[in-house]
Amino acid sequence: MSKGSCSEVKLMLYLAKRLNFADENEILLIQEMWEETSKILRGLIKSLENR
C-alpha cells in the first residue's frame, strides 16, 4: 500500500509540473522529499523481509 501511495505522489508531482500548478522550486523540494521517503520505505520493506 505504501509503495502505491508513493507512486501516486510521484504521478501527482508530474501532473502539477505539467499543468503549472507549482513553480520549479516547489517541484524540486517536493521531489527531494519524495525521493527521501522512497528510500526510507524501501529500506523498511527490505528490513521486514529479512526477518
Per-residue pLDDT of the chain (51 residues; tens, 9 = 90+): 677 888 898 899 999 999 999 999 999 999 999 999 999 999 999 999 998
Which residues, other chains included, contact 2 with Cβ-Cβ below 8 Å and sequence gap of 6+?
A: 41, 45
| pTM for this prediction | 0.73
Residue 36 one-letter amino acid: E
